[in-house]
Amino acid sequence: MAASQIFAVIVDDREAAGAVLETLRRRADVVTRVERLPLGDYLVDEALLFERKTLPDLVASIKDGRLFSQGLRLANAPLRTALILEGTTRDLGECRMHREAIQGALIALTLFLGIPLLRSMDAQETAGLMLFAARQARTFATGALPRKGLRPRGKARVQQRILQGLPGIGPARAKGLLERFGTIEAVMAAPAADLATVPGIGERTAKLIRWAVAEHAATYGPAEVSDPDWPL
C-alpha cells in the first residue's frame, strides 16, 4: 500500500485499553502510536484532533465540571477538532441527569464554542468516523472541494466568540476581558478577584467563570452562583 494511503494515528495512552485502538490496529491502512497527548484522545495525520466521550463519560464530565474547560481548550487548539459522542441512550442507565442538562452542555460546546459534534454507535464506528474525516481532509487539501473561510474572520473575533461560551459573557464582556488580559489563556488562569475588576463582570459572573473553567472541583459551585441564562 502506498504511503499516501496510510493514516497515522496517535492515540492517547489513557485510551490504550479501549476497543477503538484495537479496531485501528486491525486495519492495514492505519499506523498507530500510543503516547500521552496534551489535548484530545486521537490525533489523525497530525491535522485532526478528536475527543471521544461515551455517554456516561459525558455525564460524568458535566457533573465534575471538566467538560467546559475541555471544550475551551479544544476550541482554542490550532488544529481542527471534533467531539465524538459514542453510544446510545441505553448507555445512560441510571445517570440521574436531566435530559435538558445534557442538551444544554452540547449546545454550549457546539453553538457557542463551535466544536463539531459527531455521533457514533460504538467503538468500531468511532474509528471509522475518524478515518472518514481524515480522508475528506485530504480531499480538501488537494483543492478538490471548496473551502469556506474561517468565521468569524480575524483572530480577535475568534477569541471573543470563544469567550462568549463562558457563563454570563456576551460580546461586550468578551471584548473587555481580552482588552484586560490580552489572551484567552490569561482569562482562564485569572483568579475571580481579577476577573471581577473588568467593567461589566462583577463578583458573581467572575465566580461563574472560575467554576466553569476549573479542571478540578471549584471553590464556587453552580448552586452558589446559579445563572438562569447558563444552560448547565
Domain 3-141 sits in CATH at 3.40.50.10130
Query: What is the predicted pLDDT for the residue at 223?
Result: 43
Query: What is the predicted pLDDT for the residue at 15?
Result: 96
b/e sequence 28-46, b meaning 16+ C-beta within 10 Å = eebebeeeebeebbbbbbe
CATH architecture observed for domain 155-213:
Orthogonal Bundle (1.10)
Query: What is the predicted pLDDT for the residue at 34?
Result: 97
Residues 177 and 168: their CA atoms lie apart, in Å, by 12
Mean pLDDT within 114-143? 90
Domain 3-141 matches domain 155-213 at the CATH topology level: no
- H, E, C per residue of the chain: CCHHHCEEEEEEHHHCCCHHHHHHHCCCCEEEEEECCCCCCEEECCCEEEEEEEHHHHHHHHHCCHHHHHHHHHHCCCCEEEEEEECCHHHHCCCCCCHHHHHHHHHHHHHHCCCCEEEECCHHHHHHHHHHHHHHHHHHHCCCCCCCCCCCCCHHHHHHHHHCCCCCCCHHHHHHHHHHHCCHHHHHHCCHHHHCCCCCCHHHHHHHHHHHHCCCCCCCCCCCCCCCCCCC
Higher pLDDT, 170 or 229: 170
pLDDT at 82 over 80: yes
- Average per-residue pLDDT for the chain: 83
Question: pLDDT digits over 132-179, tens only?
Answer: 999 998 887 665 555 444 444 567 777 888 888 788 888 888 889 989
- Least confidently predicted of 34-38, 99-103, 180-184, 224-228: 224-228
Mean pLDDT within 110-124? 93
Higher pLDDT, 50 or 66: 50
Query: What is the predicted pLDDT for the residue at 164?
Result: 83
pLDDT at 185 over 80: yes
Higher pLDDT, 103 or 93: 103
pLDDT at 75 over 70: yes
Query: What is the predicted pLDDT for the residue at 219?
Result: 45
Question: pLDDT digits over 192-213, tens only?
Answer: 999 999 998 989 888 888 887 7
Mean pLDDT within 64-90? 89
Question: pLDDT digits over 2-55, tens only?
Answer: 556 899 999 999 999 999 999 999 999 999 999 999 999 999 999 999 999 999
Q: Where are the domains of the chain?
A: 3-141, 155-213
Mean pLDDT within 101-107? 89
